[in-house]
Amino acid sequence: MIYTLHGFAIFFLIYWSGLWVLHLLAIFYGKYRLHRKVKPLSTDEPYPGVSILKPLMGTDPHLVSNLETFFTMNYPMYEILFCIEDEKDPGIDVVNALLNKYPKVQAKVFIGGSTVGVNPKINNMNKAYESSIYDLILISDSGIRMKEDTLLDMVEHMTEKTGIVHQMPFTSDRNGFAATLEKIYFGTAQSRMYLGADCLGINCHTGMSTLIRKDVLEEQGGLKTFGCYLAEDFFIAKSFLDKGWKTAISSQPALQNSGICDVNSFQARLTRWAKLRVAMLPTVIIFEPLSECMVIGACAAWAASFLFRWEPLVFYLVHILVWFLCDWMLLSIVQNGSLPFKRFDFIIGWLFRECSGPYLFLLALCHPEIRWRNRVFKLTWGGIAQEVKPRIKC
């Protein structure tokens, strides 16, 4: 029994040390990688054309301003392909108003998706994808805002050996506790794993804003090939990596700016992502909870007390304090400017996120079915999805 406890104690301390290495790696890599100056647009240099796929469903208070940023980008050649599944969707009026406002921008609307799998996003985009005319495909969610030079920055990272350039998820500056909580999560826990994985060459691809070589995707059978997965972004990147292509993150994070911003919706989103990760990588069941500050801190404090007779409470409190300070540093790097909330707000939001994280993961394990808008899906090992309930007609 004593040898078993020794083994656990050693494992916890090694894993705890590895997380600190990852923490420092994310800070230094983020400082090096993010917010690098974009070269001015050159009139002498040829730029590849980009077809932008914008899947839409419904409207929210920020939809107009989010979509308008795609009409004002400083890039010489691109088209915007709006994908709307329902002909009665109110988003159609929003898009038509922007088309009238910016008649010189090359844009089209595709109404009515095609059923090529269980993934609603793939079904919605497939028609537009098959009609795209340029060599690069940018898949961009409706809640994403773009700066004038964001597309140029992404294209500049598309080297000869790179097949996918994706933006690290982050958020725009918004008011309220839920917005603060989102920014803290994406700027700390998510950024730590994302930056560390990208630096180590591990697949960390998320599809909310991603630039893809169309010819390589066509070799896989096109976008429809990945319609059997809900986490199509992960499997698209995996197929590229398996073929020897590299993936890279852009220096500008993706600015999520959804008009729906409340704690319940955000936590439901995190729970859904956890379910996807468990189905794709079953080892997540063990290692993800141990990656949480409060959990690994308690384990490491017990291990230090068991092996070295150190005071566990002091160890635990110092662990939390240093983790907190490193997260503040990482968030400041990702933000690249003043944060839109006070330090006290950060303390409250950080504690809430760190304490609720393990609970949300347990919730994901207890209820593995995934609810996505008005549909329910079940995942098998490997990430293949099956719809378990018919679509609810409103």
Give the catalytic positions in this structure: 233
162: which residues sit within 8 A by CB, 6+ positions away?
Answer: 245, 246, 247, 248
73, two tokens = 């980008």
Type of residue found at 383: G
Give the residue from 68, 334, 30, 29 showing the smallest Cα distance to 183.
334
Q: CA 278: distance to chain centroid?
A: 16
CB-based contact 96:59 (threshold 8 Å): no
C-alpha–C-alpha distance, residues 129 and 232, integer Å: 15
Element (H, E) at 368: none
| Residue 54: CB atoms within 10 Å | 26
219, two tokens = 């070799």
> Cα torsion for 102, 105, 111, 115, to the nearest 10°?
-150
266: which residues sit within 8 A by CB, 6+ positions away?
Answer: 178, 181, 182, 185
16: which residues sit within 8 A by CB, 6+ positions away?
Answer: 296, 297, 299, 300, 303
64: which residues sit within 8 A by CB, 6+ positions away?
Answer: 94, 97, 98
CB-based contact 159:174 (threshold 8 Å): no
> Cα torsion for 372, 130, 380, 203, to the nearest 10°?
-90
